[in-house]
Amino acid sequence: MRRDRILHPQLAQALATLGHSDILLVTDAGFPIPADARRIDLAFYPGMVDVLDILQVLRQEMFFDEIRMASEVPQCNPQLYDDVQRIFTGSGADFSALPHAQFLQQVPTRAKVVIRSGSLNPWANFAMTASTDPFAWFSEGMTPLAEYVERCRRIEENVVPELH
């Protein structure tokens, strides 16, 4: 058994296929997942496995450039927004948003992997853009990309992500 690693074999394998800019979509139990999507279904029972538990584990496993959500989340489900901010504080990821209807239309078909939770938490759908370790890519004497410098700063300063 792997210690402190994802044990679900299909999920571990799917995450290993993600590269920079690939989208990982984590959804609530009712999200309309396209029939041809690479779907990892973790829904077991209403509320189990919760979307926040999945996000917490993914935060420890991977780097993300961006976390996209429905623009309604901060106002319509402020506790969810606070929880997701807490999880991704110091991750270096940016938060962005689309209106819920646009999110439903645009995001699912672009996702390389979709993880369905058992969460009944409204608007608990997050499109996460995979990234690389910003500290690992540029050695001394090289000029890092500005986006890497900024992500490193946000990680080092433990910045709380906010929608802009």
Of residues 8, 20, 100, 164, which has the active-site annotation?
Answer: 20
Neighbour count for residue 58 (Cβ, 10 Å): 21
Buried b (16+ CB within 10 A) or exposed e, 63-81: bbbbbbbbbbbbeebeebb
Is 20 assigned a catalytic role? yes
**DSSP string of 68-111, one letter each residue:** EEETTHHHH-HHHHHHHHHHHTTS-PEEEEE-HHHHHHHSGGG-
Contact 17, 113 (CB under 8 A): yes
Alpha helices by DSSP H, listed for 6-89, are 9-16, 51-61, 73-76, 78-88
Q: What type of residue is 85? A: Q
Catalytic residue set: 20
